[in-house]
Structure 1
Amino acid sequence: MPVVLGVDESPKAVEQWFQKPSHRKEKLTKFHFYFHDIVSGKNPIAIHVAQANTTFTSPTLFGLVSMMDDTLTVGPEPDSEIVGRAQGVYGLVGLEDVGLLMTLNFVFTEGKYNGSTLSVLDRNPVFHKYREMPIVDGSGVFRVARGVATAKRI
């Protein structure tokens, strides 16, 4: 799947981008998409890559580390239109409750955000109905982004 970036990423272009006053004005963008994390079956898109010796005796699977390349879709159905990928790594970090330390990028592959990314880094308490994780940066049209990603388990 080709990714075409509409923003020049050369070092000189990035330096010039920071000099333009128009980029200093904040813009608000809201997204709504679905994140599919398939960890088993014929075609998993998240796989375990490491674990501690005690991971599978822990009630929270503490120490299990996985890599993901999950689809981002317009609708809740797995075969809904794909608008990007959630790519990154997560590890189970709670000894007493299930929580993921997530480092991931939302990589947009369609539409006006094609080739741009948003980066998320935080603890994700996966069994909470609602979660909030900070957006810590971005690339392309989201260069120096900040914000919040909210998640709801369906």
Structure 2
Amino acid sequence: MADDPLTAGPDPGSQIVGRAQGMYGSASFSEIGVLMTFNFVFTAGKYNGSTLSLLSRNPILHRYREMPIVGGSGVFRLAQGVATAKTYWANSTARNAIVEYHVVVLHY
């Protein structure tokens, strides 16, 4: 389960614009990959009260990862699109990471 800060940039001190809420679990025997279902819940700025929903397999050790946006609410009603992910920083001992997402969506 996850309920992590969603920030404007990869710096931990960046402005918090929402929460990344959802869950993930192991999805591969051959590499480190997880199945993710996440909601990006916006709590500030012009997207306050809106969400984007992501559902995908995420091979977290790959440099480039592409995952579909499968829906949304509020400003992002009926959203579809793609999110690309890049691990900005990781600490395997603490099992903590900063992941940068770039999202392109079409919505109603």
Instruction: Calculate the TM-score normalised by the size of structure 1.
Output: 0.56
RMSD: 0.7
Larger Rg over CA atoms: 1
Any gaps of 5 or more consecutive residues in structure 1? 1-66
Q: CA deviation at 1:107?
A: 0.3
* Structure 2 residue matching 1:77: 3-state secondary structure: coil
Q: Which runs of 4+ in 1 moved over 4 A?
A: none
Q: CA deviation at 1:100?
A: 0.6
Q: CA deviation at 1:130?
A: 1.0
Number of corresponding residues: 88
| Residue of structure 1 equivalent to 2:9 | 75
Aligned partner (choices 63, 88, 100) of residue 129 of structure 1:
63
| Residue of structure 1 equivalent to 2:48 | 114
Residue identity opposite 2:8 in structure 1 = V
The structure that is strand-richer by fraction is 2
Aligned partner (choices 10, 14, 34) of residue 100 of structure 1:
34
Give the distance between the partners of 2:87 and 2:45, measured in 1 at CA.
26
The structure that is helix-richer by fraction is 1
Give the distance between the partners of 2:48 and 2:35, measured in 1 at CA.
27
| Residue of structure 2 equivalent to 1:145 | 79
* Structure 1 residue matching 2:41: 3-state secondary structure: strand
Aligned partner (choices 14, 20, 41) of residue 86 of structure 1:
20
Q: CA deviation at 1:75?
A: 2.1
